[in-house]
Structure 1
Amino acid sequence: MNSRHIMAAFPPTADAQVTLANWRQHPFSEWAFRNVRELLPTANIARSREPTSLSFAQAYLEDVAFANPRGETIDVGEALRTSHTDGFVVSHRGRIVAEWYAHGLTPDAPHLIFSVSKSIAGTLAGILVDRGKLDPDAPVTQYIPEMRGSVYGDGCTVRHLLDMSVGIHFDEDYMAREGDVINYRRSTGWEPFDATVPPTHLRQYLQTLRPDGKPHGHAFHYVSTNTDVLGWVYERACGMSYARIVSHYLWEPMGAEHDAYITVDSRGAARVAGGICATVRDLARFGEMMRNHGVSNGRQVVPSRWIHDIRHNGNAEAWSRGDLTKVFPNGNYRSKWYTIERGQTPFAAIGIHGQWVYIDPANETVIARVSSQALPMDLDLDHMWLRGYRAIASRLSGKA
């Protein structure tokens, strides 16, 4: 199927129709990831009334070279064209130096960012802690008594949610066609209706999850439901919907230029773990704020100490016992953010299908990339682009 024919007729032919059965499959995803609102119910995340202005200083980066998965030399231009990249923005010292779009995406069109959404949630925690609305060491049941009897009710704290160290029985296998991930997605509305399965909704499903026998805090175990519970904690702490929380405490004060939005289930519960859609420029604004110690347009939006904690803390032993050491062998995870290499400055927000916000404070560089990569996790492509991000940062800092 040629992606240009997808959803192009009125009505589309059967083989060009995007549905809940195929929307995360390539090439349908090229259309779906920038048109999520036409597939799923959503809640709006309002933009700022005073957007942070962008400045531009064009730099030629298409010839920056690095190794592809076969060990051959590739440059940025070819990598963009051959890796299903939909949007790409590079910022250096606060100015946009490169911008690139494909597959129908435009600067003002939101794109699904999958688990970059988690890093937004982790950033919000610092703001809510600073406002006295959230205690990261409190038990989850202090905010959600309904979690008693689930894995989240037996000694599980907000910090365990933030750091993905819940001792939960859950297999986050994105390629599975049955089991945990399918049941979870079905509760969020991301899967087609199945008449053979009793209907459920997200908050109901979260209360059914059980422990794996390991103590909370022992190991990094990447499970998306932890972040959905975290969002529910925020709602109880703030007395407002998650979409409103994102807008009020982050999107508006950060100076976002465009509305974002988030998918919701049949009861209006937000898919906090992976349902936000945002423009690439606003992702670059978000990354620049994080690079700048939480300051955007002269305003302290996120406490600098929270960002310092993200970059310098985290449990290396828990990471080493975890399930993503093949991605970053010497990495770390703190408050929904990845440290790429312990002892080095880059940190990142990462989502499946190729979504990134890469921040390199030492080289004063931020790179936001959205994609419709065919595989949810493609380590060859992700590691290729990680080499590319490093090469771009080196070029911009004059080290290459």
Structure 2
Amino acid sequence: MYICSHFSISVKHRRTSKMNTQKLKFPSIILFAITILLGASCGTKKEQLKDFKEVMKLENIEYTFINMDEYFPSKIVEKADQAFVFPQTQNVQLPESFNSNEVNYNTQKFLDSSYAQGLILIQNDTIQYENYWRGQTEAVKHISWSMSKSYVSALFGIAMEEGFIESVEQTVDEYLPELKGSGYEGVKIKDVLQMSTGVGFDETYSDPNADINRYWDDFGNGKSQDEFAASLKNEIEPGTFNHYVSINTHVLGMIIVKATGKSLTQYLEEKIWKPIGAEHNAYWIADGKGMEMALGGLNATLRDYAKLGRLYLNKGNWNGKQIIPESWIEASTNSTEEHLQANSENSSSPSFGYGYQWWIPDGDQGEIMAIGVFNQYIYINPTTNTVIVKNSANKNYYESSNSYASTTTHLEFFRELGGV
């Protein structure tokens, strides 16, 4: 189902107890970029930009992140006919504090200062702790941002198992001839999965001339994401350097759609969402051409996000049914080449390794993470049989010195919760 909505009434009227009314300062370029992005809806451009300029102010993003479908085209992912419900105990007492980089953090202050909206701790297949703040509830969907990338990776593995895609050693243009002449021509699919395409892309939101802002501008004006991908050029030899390029995930989405003949929404619903017993519908925001934002547009509830964690914790098996090939799980969650290792000099992401659209913390417990901007996380630890999901609307995310926005700090918090 494809839905186009309008945010047509005043934001002042829409504000409820869901929203934090603190007056916060928002970096102007981020506001501009996201305003452009989400201006592409069904009403007039002038009205949408006016509305979204207001709703994307940082005092409002707590509301925005849990109501994306009010002002952006979206495609529904239908829930399962029979839901899987995690057993649940009375909430355990969270640790009073935890340490990260020799600094002690008070847990409650950390949750407040990172603007947490939802937190769930599942251990030994049982919900040990679940809580919500700032408008989110167990039935409210929250945008995943780049956690979506890990779902795309899972769908890619399924498409390979079903024979739609032959090998990760094939090149992108074997499936997408429209990308010949771009930075993706001759690039192996494996390098796309591992964020090692060598494609030049600047994801610095604070720079108005950065590629990411050009992407948002095109997106907001109804232009094709496919055409944007075709505009990128190669700068480094593929397979030699780990450089996070969000458009790589869009290219993976293009391949899935071309190979399977199904939209990402359809394929997710059929192959993952219903089989894992999703309790609620999800939705995927889409561009003006109807293509899902593969790189960050999935919206779902906290418990349903946790089910992807459970699926990977069990190596792709769901109650006896192999949904994702185990071999794909293994390939996705291991840093195989040197440039993918944590602390490699050939990586732009120090301290974390990388697999197939999954982050791999440095350590010996097999941890993996799906990570989205503004502090969205799915954390999985097979050693302690732990899955943790956190949704946030962190107004300080782009302050590099703010430890409450740090993924490293979040990792140590998750380790403390899991008893590592």
TM interval, shorter chain, is: 0.7 to 0.9
Deviations 1:354-382 (A, max 9, x none): 00000011011100000001144566223
The answer to whether structure 1 residue 260 and structure 2 residue 291 are counterparts is no
CA contact (8 A) 2:90 2:129 kept: yes
Deviations 1:209-247 (A, max 9, x none): 1111x1111100100000001101000110011111111
1:180 counterpart residue number: 211
CA contact (8 A) 1:225 1:273 kept: yes
Deviation at 1:348, TM superposition (A): 0.6
> Which of these residues, 169, 176, 186, is aligned with residue 144 of structure 1?
176
Pairing 1:121-200 to 2, within 5 Å after superposition: 121-134=152-165, 135-153=167-185, 155-189=186-220, 200=223
1:357 counterpart residue number: 378
Which amino acid is the alignment partner of residue 157 of structure 2? G
Residues in 2 aligned to 1:217 and 1:377: alpha-carbon distance in whole angstroms: 29
Deviation at 1:342, TM superposition (A): 4.8
Residues in 2 aligned to 1:18 and 1:372: alpha-carbon distance in whole angstroms: 21
What SS does structure 2 have at the residue aligned with 1:160?
helix
The answer to whether structure 1 residue 37 and structure 2 residue 69 are counterparts is yes
Q: 1:342 to 1:125 in 2, by over 3 A?
A: farther
1:201 counterpart residue number: 224
CA contact (8 A) 2:120 2:127 kept: yes
> Which of these residues, 106, 110, 131, is aligned with residue 137 of structure 2?
106
1:55 counterpart residue number: 87
Q: 1:23 to 1:322 in 2, by over 3 A?
A: farther
Deviation at 1:318, TM superposition (A): 4.2
What SS does structure 1 have at the residue aligned with 2:266?
helix
Deviates more, 1:37-46 or 1:228-237: 37-46
Deviates more, 1:273-282 or 1:316-325: 316-325
CA contact (8 A) 2:194 2:355 kept: yes
Pairing 1:311-390 to 2, within 5 Å after superposition: 311-319=333-341, 320=344, 321-325=346-350, 328=351, 331-377=352-398, 380-381=403-404, 382-390=407-415
1:249 counterpart residue number: 271
Pairing 1:62-77 to 2, within 5 Å after superposition: 62-67=94-99, 71-75=103-107, 77=108
1:196 counterpart residue number: none
Q: 1:40 to 1:69 in 2, by over 3 A?
A: farther
Deviation at 1:309, TM superposition (A): 2.0
What SS does structure 2 have at the residue aligned with 1:9?
helix
CA contact (8 A) 2:149 2:294 kept: yes
Deviation at 1:9, TM superposition (A): 1.3
How many corresponding residue pairs? 373
2:13 counterpart residue number: 9
Which amino acid is the alignment partner of residue 190 of structure 2? R
Deviation at 1:314, TM superposition (A): 2.9
Q: 1:23 to 1:123 in 2, by over 3 A?
A: farther
CA contact (8 A) 2:192 2:249 kept: yes
* Structure 2 gap segments, 5+ residues each: 1-9, 17-22, 25-48
Which amino acid is the alignment partner of residue 273 of structure 1? L
What TM-score do the two structures reach when normalised by structure 1? 0.87
What SS does structure 1 have at the residue aligned with 2:231?
coil
Residues in 2 aligned to 1:30 and 1:11: alpha-carbon distance in whole angstroms: 11
Deviation at 1:62, TM superposition (A): 2.5
CA contact (8 A) 2:223 2:289 kept: no
CA contact (8 A) 2:156 2:252 kept: no
Deviates more, 1:358-367 or 1:118-127: 118-127
Which amino acid is the alignment partner of residue 201 of structure 2? F
Residues in 1 aligned to 2:411 and 2:399: alpha-carbon distance in whole angstroms: 12
Residues in 2 aligned to 1:96 and 1:270: alpha-carbon distance in whole angstroms: 31
CA contact (8 A) 1:217 1:318 kept: no
Residues in 1 aligned to 2:337 and 2:274: alpha-carbon distance in whole angstroms: 32
> Which of these residues, 233, 251, 257, is aligned with residue 229 of structure 1?
251
CA contact (8 A) 1:86 1:101 kept: yes
Pairing 1:83-94 to 2, within 5 Å after superposition: 83-94=114-125
Which amino acid is the alignment partner of residue 386 of structure 2? T
Residues in 2 aligned to 1:108 and 1:10: alpha-carbon distance in whole angstroms: 19
* Structure 1 gap segments, 5+ residues each: 1-5, 194-198
The answer to whether structure 1 residue 210 and structure 2 residue 233 are counterparts is yes
What SS does structure 2 have at the residue aligned with 1:171?
coil
CA contact (8 A) 1:68 1:74 kept: no
